[in-house]
A = this chain, B = another copy of it.
Amino acid sequence: MSKPLILVCNDDGITAPGIRALVEVVQEFGEVMVVAPDSPQSGQGHSITLADPLRLKPVKSFDGIEAFKCSGTPADCIKIAKHFVLKGRKADLCVSGINHGSNSSINIVYSGTMGAAMEAAIEGIPSIGFSFLDYAHEADMEVCKPYVREIVKDALENGLGGSQLLNVNIPALPAAEIKGIKYCRQANGKWVETYLEKEDPYGKPYYWLTGEYVYKDAGEETDIWALENGYVSVVPSKFDLTDYEALKKRMDT
């Protein structure tokens, strides 16, 4: 059997330590190709670039691995990879990350990491987004590696268990304190934003978004619960956003 082809992306940009850690793990399993943004793209969600052209340049960021940086969003990276890098071959797996920061709960909708993974899932490629709950650039990603390895190995051997997309978050704990992997649902939560208000040098106001995550969900089957209790959370996710319960109610009335 030929080696599986694994496409790697992220949203922190091609120079982020997280994507390096991810490549180090997945290259154990197959042929790896990397297409990642040339600049940080946090908060880009599933956005794509329509009004501007894109650039794609080869980089020698990873020993012996074909890698490109793209001027677009994470979802753009997947689209352009399909076209100019994979060139008609289909990846067996797409992995995105390892993100520097959480993409659990509602963060999935804002996440460029998950935007890339979802774009690949729409293409029919089994896809996994990995995020580490330590925001620091210099975060030690070693603790993530055994879990990335286990989840990628299982995905290549057994598929994603009926799903096309997994949202994996890894708690920022010492290795010995992580209790294992827990499959769970997306917790119901949101960000309560605040804005830093300042004046520019010309006396005009500007506003800079910040905020605090608020957890509104008491369930023990959520990703937030899993992470707060020392587990790696895995949420099987999808891009069919239909609210089937509400639809059924409409059809019945």
Contact = CB atoms under 8 A, between A and B. Distances in A.
Interface of A: 40, 42-56, 73, 75-76, 79-80, 82-84, 106, 108-110, 112, 115, 118, 122-123, 160-165, 167, 183-186, 188, 190, 193-196, 198, 204-209, 235-247, 249-251, 253
A209 B49 contact: yes
What copy number does this chain have within its complex? 2
B206 A55 contact: yes
Given A108-B241, A109-B118, A238-B241, A209 B46 contact: no
Q: Which secondary structure characterizes the binding site on chain A?
A: mixed
A17 to B, nearest CB: 19
A207 B50 contact: no
Nearest to A72: B209
B109 A239 contact: yes
A245 B238 CA distance: 10
Nearest to A44: B47
21 contacts: A42-B50, A44-B45, A45-B46, A45-B48, A47-B47, A47-B73, A48-B110, A53-B208, A54-B195, A54-B208, A75-B110, A79-B193, A83-B195, A109-B241, A122-B190, A185-B240, A186-B242, A238-B242, A238-B243, A238-B246, A241-B241
A131 B184 CA distance: 34
Given A48-B45, A160-B246, A193-B79, A207 B237 contact: no
A80 B207 contact: yes
Contacts of A108: 241
A160 B247 CA distance: 10
A5 B43 CA distance: 29
B42 A45 contact: no
Contacts of A193: 79, 82-83
Given A47-B47, A80-B207, A195-B80, A162 B109 contact: no
